[in-house]
Amino acid sequence: MNITKAQNLACPIDGKKLKQTDKQYVCENGHTFDIARQGYVNLLPVQHKRSKQPGDSKAMVLARTDFLNAGYYQAVAEKLTEMVSAQIINDNSINHNEHCILDAGCGEGYYFDFIFNALKNETGVGKLSFIGLDISKDAVIQAAKRNKQISWVVGTNRQPPVEEKSVDIILCLFGFISFDGFYKTVKPGGKIIIVDPGAEHLKELREIIYPEIKKPDQQRSLQTENTGFSLVHSEKLQFKVNIANKTQINNLLLMTPHFYRASKAGREVACNLQQLDLTIDVVFSVLEKS
């Protein structure tokens, strides 16, 4: 694989193409964005922020890094890599030798780095560029430590700071889906791969922290009507992991929205568990831009 840095970042103020200099990105209207010493660029202007420190907190980011590095979700990363690779290899578009992949809500970069390292050794995937985007500066700082060849960006999925119709595949894992933002960004015929929790996901933990858990038919399902995308493929992955480590059970709780939603009593019980047999149940959906 031939890896290039992303050439399609765009100014979050006027949408113009950004050119990279030594230490900055600059658009033709003179808006400049410094490249931080950690190697990422902040393309989230204050007018796009809905809070002072949007997205996941540093504590959530560190908990997720620790948990994911332990490999509990590696099968999810492997399945995702397989799907991304298949999309690239089976792409029949004109520029099928050159692909840009955007991880929208990349978090601390575990999955994107995993995919990068797997594709790096694959033949037949042509020229690739990788953009990892997250609204949390702490998440992007952590992600930038994982991989120096990915273009890491602080920004929002509502208005991804990339040129219109310049991305081949958007990944959105357990994240905030903005069909409007994704539609503008993806090339015609381009794909979104969404990874969502399935009905049984983390059910053993949910049974502990909530008085009652949602039935499968009460779970949210992916709605694609009037989004400009249609579902072309869906796949489920379910497996069990044993977490025999109190710290990792705490990390898991902290990295999910369950930490804030759980009752105080439920949280206390979960935090004191010494081990947990856990179901991982995720749904992969591939959507194509119509």
Ligand X SMILES: C[S@@+](CC[C@H](N)C(=O)[O-])C[C@H]1O[C@@H](n2cnc3c(N)ncnc32)[C@H](O)[C@@H]1O
Q: Which residues bind ligand X (CB under 6 A)?
A: 55-56, 64, 105-107, 110-111, 133-136, 139, 156-158, 173-176
Closest CA to 67 of 232, 250, 272: 250
Of 91 and 155, nearer to ligand X (C-beta) is 155
199: how many CB neighbours lie within 10 A of its CB? 18
Write out the two tokens for 200.
């049984």
Of 12 and 105, nearer to ligand X (C-beta) is 105
Whole-angstrom distance, CA of residue 194 vs CA of residue 290: 17
Amino acid 263 reads: S
Give the shortest CB-50-to-ligand X separation in angstroms.
Answer: 8
Give the shortest CB-107-to-ligand X separation in angstroms.
Answer: 3
Backbone angles phi, psi at 118, to 5 degrees: -75, -45
Of 88 and 104, nearer to ligand X (C-beta) is 104
Of 127 and 158, nearer to ligand X (C-beta) is 158
Of 111 and 116, nearer to ligand X (C-beta) is 111
71: how many CB neighbours lie within 10 A of its CB? 10
Q: What is the helix (H) or strand (E) element at residue 278, kind and residue range?
A: strand 276-289
Tell me the three state secondary structure of residue 224: coil
CA distances from 280 to 120, 196, 217, 222 (A): 27, 11, 18, 18
